C-alpha cells in the first residue's frame, strides 16, 4: 500500500533526526498523544522500511540536513569561521546559492575586507528575512567537509 504524504514526511523526519520515531511522528503532524504508537506501527510497516531505505540511498548518508539548516551552518561559518579559508569557503558556497557567484573564485581574494563584510551582511540579511538565523556552530562540526570540498574543485 502506498504511503501517504504524512507518512513520507515521517520517514524523512525519522532519518533527519537520527532515528527518533516519536519526534518524527510529531514533526510529521501526528498528535503527541498517539506519536509513540503511530511511530511503532509505521516502523513495523514494510512500505515504511522501503521508504526509509530509499531516503538513505538517495542521500548517501543516514543524516539529511534540510536546506535551511545548511544555509544556517554556512552563514555561521562565513561569519565566525576559525580561519579566513573557512570563512571564504562558506561565503563562496553562499554566494553560489544566492546567485551571486563570481565565475573566477580567486577574484574574491582581492576584494577589500570592507566589501567582504558587506557581502556577508547582505547574505545575513537575506537569511534573516527568511527567518533563518544562524545557530552557534563550532568549526569542528563542518570544517573538514568544507575544506575537502574546496580541494576537489
- Per-residue pLDDT of 60-118, as tens digits, reads 655 556 677 778 888 888 888 888 888 888 888 887 777 765 555 556 666 777 877 88
pTM score, two decimals? 0.42
Distance CA 120, CA 46 (A): 47
Q: What percent of the chain has pLDDT over 90?
A: 25
Distance CA 52, CA 64 (A): 12
Domains and CATH numbers, the chain: 5-59 (1.10.10.1400), 67-152 (no CATH)
Amino acid at each position: 500500500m502506498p504511503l501517504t504524504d504524512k507518512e513520507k514526511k515521517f520517514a524523512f523526519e525519522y532519518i533527519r533526526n537520527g532515528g527518533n520515531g516519536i519526534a518524527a511522528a510529531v514533526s510529521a503532524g501526528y498528535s503527541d498523544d498517539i506519536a509513540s504508537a503511530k511511530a511503532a506501527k509505521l516502523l513495523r510497516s514494510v512500505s515504511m522500511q522501503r521508504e526509509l531505505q530509499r531516503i538513505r540511498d538517495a542521500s548517501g548518508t543516514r543524516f539529511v540536513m534540510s536546506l535551511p539548516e545548511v544555509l544556517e551552518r554556512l552563514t555561521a561559518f562565513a561569519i565566525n569561521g576559525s580561519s579566513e579559508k573557512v570563512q571564504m569557503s562558506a561565503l563562496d558556497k553562499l554566494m553560489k546559492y544566492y546567485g551571486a557567484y563570481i565565475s573566477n573564485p580567486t577574484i574574491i581574494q582581492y576584494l577589500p575586507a570592507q566589501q567582504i563584510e558587506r557581502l556577508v551582511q547582505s547574505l545575513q540579511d537575506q537569511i534573516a528575512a527568511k527567518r533563518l538565523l544562524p545557530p552557534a556552530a563550532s568549526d569542528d562540526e563542518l570544517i573538514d567537509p568544507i575544506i575537502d570540498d574546496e580541494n576537489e574543485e
